[in-house]
Amino acid sequence: MKVAVVGATGLVGTRMLQVLEERNFPVDELFPVASAKSVGRNVSFKGREWTVVSAEDAIAAHPQLALFSAGGETSHQLAPIFAEVGCRVVDNSSFWRMDPTKPLVVPEINGDVLSAGDYIIANPNCSTIQMVLPLAPIHKELGIKRIVVSTYQSVTGTGYKAISQMNTERGIAEKERPEGDLLAPATAVGHWGEYPAIYPYPIDQNILPHIDSFLENGYTKEEMKMVNETRKILRDESIAVTATTVRVPVQGGHSESINIETHKPFTLEQVRSLMASMSGVVVQDDPAHNVYPMPIYAWGKDEVFVGRIRRDFSVENGFNFWCVSDNIRKGAATNAVQIAQLLLERHLL
């Protein structure tokens, strides 16, 4: 089994390698692919060092599987070339997700859509994955009419540079931040303080209601991803979805406040039971004892944690809940490897 990981030195790519190893995925030859400046470096996998190679070298080796996490433009250019040599591509970027000819897969929900003809398979957005996993059994049993979601997304979703920005800001917070510069847009000067900034404003002790670029409708691309991907994964274009996505100074994982309106009436016990029945979902819902999901405890885990499940008294069939997951694992790397495992089980690799 020849496996390529495109973007192998990035935050998600390194986690993909970790998850492949943890799950004992059968890799006989590994082809870590990264940008030209990283070619020749080594990455560790299964007790040995593997040399980072160019995409051209990986394609020439005719791998059976390629896991991509290198951005939309790289996926646009390279995924079809890998596919042409008979390689199954699982792509973590947003480029192929809404292509009607490409499956968008959360294995526990819609893994059945995979077929022998699928050579480019889209991995959903991290925020979408953790939301739809507990909602799938709700939709199947009760029918979802409307979703209102607000996200609280970790800086890890933007990669190593964002983590560096936050940690650097925290290191200089007390003694080196000049008075009056705290709210100066970093993009105006290219730096905030003495380090390159990935966000347009400071992220430490701040919250940015801005993830990805803004669209003409006033929403961001991240928000519209949650709208469109949810409908595609749950196979129901009638679901009304509205989202507000927010970056918070947290490193552990993404959190979401979700409001649901269903077509059918329900009991809260039924909602908890349906969510708990979903593989990969853990219900932590005991507010009397301060038991509820938090990102600091989701870090490094593959499950989606839900709690604060309570009725919305403003509508006839409504409820709220709180949802937390490690966005780099289930939100990206783990889901991609699970897709690869499903391909293997179905003898498509």
117 plus 239 within the same structural domain? no
Among the listed residues 87, 139, 254, 323, the single catalytic one is 254
Average pLDDT, 10 consecutive residues per value, the chain (349 residues): 97 96 97 95 96 97 98 97 98 98 98 97 98 98 98 94 85 46 37 67 94 97 98 98 97 95 98 98 98 95 98 98 97 98 97
Residue 38 belongs to some domain of the structure: yes
Domain ranges, residue 100: 2-123+332-345
pLDDT at 168 (0 to 100):
83
> Residue for token digits 């999901």?
293
95 plus 244 within the same structural domain? no
Does residue 139 have an active-site annotation? no
86 plus 136 within the same structural domain? no
Q: What pTM does this model have? A: 0.92
For every residue of 54-72, DSSP letters joined together read -HHHHHHT--SEEEE-S-H
Cα-based distances in Å from 318 to 131, 148, 306:
16, 11, 16
Does residue 62 have an active-site annotation? no
282 plus 141 within the same structural domain? yes
Residue 315 belongs to some domain of the structure: yes
Question: Which one, of 337, 263, 343, 335, lies nearest residue 106 by Cα?
Answer: 335
Domain count across the chain: 2
34 plus 133 within the same structural domain? no
Tell me phi and psi for residue 130, to 5 degrees: -70, -25
| Cα angle 167-170-175, degrees, rounded to a multiple of 5 | 140
Contacts of 174 (CB under 8 A, 6+ apart): none
CATH number where 81 lies: 3.40.50.720
Residue 160 belongs to some domain of the structure: no
pLDDT at 12 (0 to 100):
96
18 plus 108 within the same structural domain? yes
Residue 199 belongs to some domain of the structure: no
20 plus 134 within the same structural domain? no
CATH number where 244 lies: 3.30.360.10
Contacts of 221 (CB under 8 A, 6+ apart): 94, 212, 213, 215
pLDDT at 163 (0 to 100):
86
CB 325 within 8 A of CB 303: yes
Among the listed residues 87, 126, 139, 323, the single catalytic one is 126
